A and B are shown apart, each in its own frame.
Chain A
Amino acid sequence: MSVNTFWTILLIIHGLLAVALLGALTHQAMAVLMPVRQAAGNFVDRFRAVPAAGYATAVCVLWVLTFIMGAWIYVKFRIYIRIPIEQAGFWKTQGFFELKEHAVTIGMGVLPAYWYFWKNARDPQYDSVRKWLTVLLAVIIWFGFIVGHVINNVRGYGS
């Protein structure tokens, strides 16, 4: 296996983990923002009607795994992707990547509270914080996913 293939596989795994995380957090965020009152009908209702509490541990595990994979490929990114991006003058694009890495690191920092509040989802005193923390994490993962995707389009697979 060539060196390029190896790192490309790692990047794909990072992307697939991010997609799974994106899906789980989007379901959860929809469920807390627009909780269903009646049995699910159309697609949107069904999308919101997931048993959101059951996603908490999976979200934490996926976040950490995605983070570890991202941190691993970041070593190569710093030399083979970021330097050419800077040489091409795409400074704002790189700036958003820096912002993404800050956001996902802080997102990882709030996971213990997120997990605790979802594991105690029957306690009404945590309803508000659980809701907004979930929405925050969903926004962060969407931001990270879009920025990562753009960066890959600028200089990604096989470049």
Chain B
Amino acid sequence: MSTTTTTTSSTAAKPASSSLAASAKFKTFAIVFSITAPILYVVCELFSLPLFTYHPATNRFDFGWAPGRSGEGPAMYWYGWTATMLIGCTVIGWLATLLPERAIRAIPLALIWLLPILAMVPLAWALKPFWEKGGWL
């Protein structure tokens, strides 16, 4: 008789009890949102599609992409990319909940962790000027 104590406590969880975790629609939303996020973010960054541009020195917002103005400091696009990504993923995730569940089952789940890794390639490439210009510290 084996006396080995086996524990699966490292990953064990109660069966999904909250309505959200047990909901098929939330599952669809979560999967599609998470697959869409890296794609949308890369598209926003590479094609300059921020929802808005923020000018921190003057505390001014412009809708969409706007260049930094002379004498008014730099323009920031990251907030706008993030907003575009979050809104876009929410809309696409919600639309996906209207599809039949078998369509969602056809999506390979590995895309959820593979796409963020692949997304870093074009994002790092877009930072080429930083890598080429020079110094570390």
A61 at the interface (CB under 8 A from B): no
> CB distance A136 to B113 under 8 Å?
yes
User: Is the C-beta of A32 less than 8 angstroms from some C-beta in chain B?
Assistant: yes
Residue in contact with A91 in the complex, picked from B16, B34, B133, CB distance below 8 Å: B133
Contact B110 A112 (CB under 8 A): no
Q: Which residues of A contact B137 (CB under 8 A)?
A: 90, 93, 150, 154
Q: Which residues of the partner chain B approach A92 to less than 8 Å between Cβ atoms?
A: 130-131, 134-136
**Complexed CA–CA distance, A31 and B38 (Å):** 26
B73 to chain A, nearest CB (A): 6
Say yes or no: A99-B120 contact (C-beta < 8 A), given A75-B56, A90-B135: yes
Residues 106-139 of A, flagged 1 when their CB comes within 8 A of B and 0 if not, give 1111111111101111100111111011011000
How many interface residues does chain B have, given as a range?
35 or more
Q: Is the CB of A129 within 8 A of B112?
A: yes
Cα A132 to Cα B115 in complex, Å, equals 12
B52: Cβ under 8 A from any A Cβ: no
Task: State whether B9 touches A110 (Cβ < 8 A).
Answer: no
A-B contact count (CB 8 A): 179
Shortest C-beta distance, B48 to chain A (Å), equals 14
The A contact surface, by secondary structure, is helix
Count contacts on A: residues with CB < 8 A to the other chain. 65
Across-interface contacts of A129 in B (CB, < 8 A): 109-110, 112-113
| Minimum CB–CB distance for B134 against chain A, Å | 5
Q: Are A119 and B18 in contact (CB under 8 A)?
A: yes
Out of B4, B11, B30, B109, which one reaches A53, CB within 8 Å? Answer: B11
Query: Would you give the 0/1 interface string for A46-63, flagging 1 where the beta carbon is closer than 8 Å to chain B?
Result: 001111111000000000
Contacts of B9 in A (CB 8 A): 36, 49-51
9 interchain residue pairs of minimum CB distance: A109-B37, A95-B130, A53-B13, A119-B21, A113-B34, A121-B13, A112-B30, A31-B10, A91-B133
The chain A residues found within 8 Å of chain B, CB to CB, are 31-32, 35-39, 48-54, 71, 74-76, 78-79, 82-83, 88-95, 98-99, 101-103, 105-116, 118-122, 125-130, 132-133, 135-136, 140, 150, 154
